[in-house]
Amino acid sequence: MKAIIPIIESMSPAELENIKRGLMQFSTKRPKKSDPEGSASLKLVDAVQNYGHTYSNDDYCQLIYGQKHDPKFRALKFWLKRRLLELRITDVCLSHNRDLPQRYREKIRVKKYLAQIYLYFHETHGTYIHQFLFEQIIKIGTEYELYEELGEAYSIMCFSIKHRDPTELLGIQEKLKYYRKCQAAMDRVYEIYNLRQALEFKHRNFSPLQETTLLQEALDELKTMSEGIHSIGFNYFYSCLVYDFYMAQKEIHKAEDIAKDLLNQLKTNILVYNKGRIGKTYGYLCTCALHLRDYKQVLQYVHKLKEYLNPGTNNMKFALLHELQAQIHLGQYDAAETTLTILRSEPIYNEDKRDSGQYDYFQAVIHFLKENYSECFSILQSIRDITDDKAGWNIGVRQLCFMCLVEMDLYQQASATVEQMRKYIDRTKAKVEFRERDRVIYSLFAALNRADFDFNHTKSTMPKLVGRLSDDDGDISWQSVSQELVPVHTWFLKHQEATLRKRKLKKNADRMT
């Protein structure tokens, strides 16, 4: 039942009706009675619709045969699985599968034509049937870029058609060579694209140089492979990698242009149209908008994205994380907490060990920005190292912890946190490349500690350090897409101004006395 239940549950009502008709029409186990209730296979399909996974294997056997164990039930399941799979790819059922992309529908049709070729190799009039089948395969395959199927068709043509003219055979061989080249390029771009996704998930600590180098090598290889071919499908995946390359280069405006072009391709071309891809491309635009600090635009893209992506998917998870960060930056803390609740509640959003710690960190940030420092510090203390991304979220926890202690006037503990941060950086710097900005932040905190937490100490390196952190055009400017959700320079300057105001008030009070 492990296979039968998902097959049936994935069907639309219209598909199921056609499946049931098919089971009655060509079932070798069709009952003698004409009424559907006499069919064990139909009974089982109806039972699955009603009970799904709530029934066990024994329960279904009991329902069909009146006992929990019957050898006929195993045979029935095997037969039904085959029939369901066969019926689902009939043209009648495919026409009712609205979620299946048109290209996949045509690919299935061409696959069936290819299978039928082998039935007529030794038939008297097989040549005429082959000619019809080849015409259909070439027509559909060319329109929908079905390179693998076109290659197979031309390969069969080389030995199945009687070639009286050698030039005809040479022409077929040239076509075969071309489509195999197209398929090789498609295979390679798929491989690189999927490898890219896997590496991005597992190794979140690539330096920009490493990432750029890997992508540049891949793009150069693909550009060479694609010379002389024209493929909309290839161009789509190639453009996705170009987007990643520009993001790694921090050329956000160029990446945004690529994402907009991708969105246009997906919405206007049936060869690459796919709801999930459209949703993911809105995710690309979300990322660009977040980098460009256009937080309202992020929320607009997320709103559009939700029309195309299903809840409980990894792409939706990343979209919600973007939405959460934009809400935090916009000061929409109640909305951010609602988004955080959604992230915590869905199992697939919590599969990775890094997730719960990262969500706790976001909650701590919200408490900090709402000036609930005690709650913030309590959460930060409970967070273990979030991931192997030691130069990102984990250093962010330590930075926020220091700022929280300063806000609560717990200077002795804040001083200890600075020392712990130094040891942490020394301990992990051999494994991970820390951002230069994080090193400068540590230097600023250490200088503040040496100045006995006087933000306006006259003999200190703090003005120079905070100047570097504040420079939007500098090499260590604040990045909105980072663990630093509370910009350290903004926090420091706020305290600096508050300290100056206190001193002025004190001076004025002294003059009055």
Measured in degrees and rounded to the nearest 5, phi and psi for residue 483 equal -75, -15
Q: How many CB atoms lie within 10 A of CB 342?
A: 15
Which DSSP letter does residue 383 get? Answer: P
Q: Which range (77-86, 136-145, 372-381) has the least confidence?
A: 77-86
pLDDT of residue 97: 83
Question: Is pLDDT above 90 for 258?
Answer: yes
Q: Helix/strand/coil (H, E, C) string of 429-490?
A: CCCCCCCHHHHHHHHHHHHHHHCCCCCCCCCCCHHHHHHHHHCCCCCCCCCCCCCCCCCHHH
Q: Which range (108-122, 190-204, 272-286, 407-421) has the least confidence?
A: 190-204
What residue has token string 């499946």? 19
Question: Is pLDDT above 90 for 466?
Answer: yes
Average pLDDT, whole number, for the chain? 88
Averaged over 412-419, what is the pLDDT? 95
Question: Is pLDDT above 60 for 512?
Answer: yes
CA distance 245 to 257: 13
Contacts of residue 113, Cβ cutoff 8 Å, sequence gap at least 6: 133, 136, 137
CA distances from 435 to 277, 465, 483 (A): 32, 15, 11
Q: Which range (314-318, 380-384, 385-389, 439-443) has the least confidence?
A: 385-389
83-126 confidence digits (pLDDT tens): 888 888 888 888 888 878 889 999 999 999 999 998 888 777 77
Q: How many CB atoms lie within 10 A of CB 376?
A: 24
pLDDT bracket for residue 35 (50, 70, 90): very low
Question: Is pLDDT above 80 for 209?
Answer: no
pLDDT bracket for residue 300 (50, 70, 90): very high
Among candidate residues 278, 213, 210, 295, the one with its CA nearest the CA of residue 240: 278
Averaged over 189-193, what is the pLDDT? 93
213-228 confidence digits (pLDDT tens): 889 999 999 999 999 9
CA distance 173 to 163: 12
Averaged over 130-141, what is the pLDDT? 94
Question: Is pLDDT above 70 for 303?
Answer: yes
CA distance 497 to 492: 9
Question: Is pLDDT above 50 for 505?
Answer: yes
CA distance 487 to 298: 19
Residue 317 CA neighbour count, 13 Å, CB half: 17
pLDDT of residue 202: 58
Question: Is pLDDT above 60 for 37?
Answer: no
| Contact assessment for residue 493 and residue 501, using Cβ atoms and an 8 Å cutoff | no
pLDDT of residue 36: 42
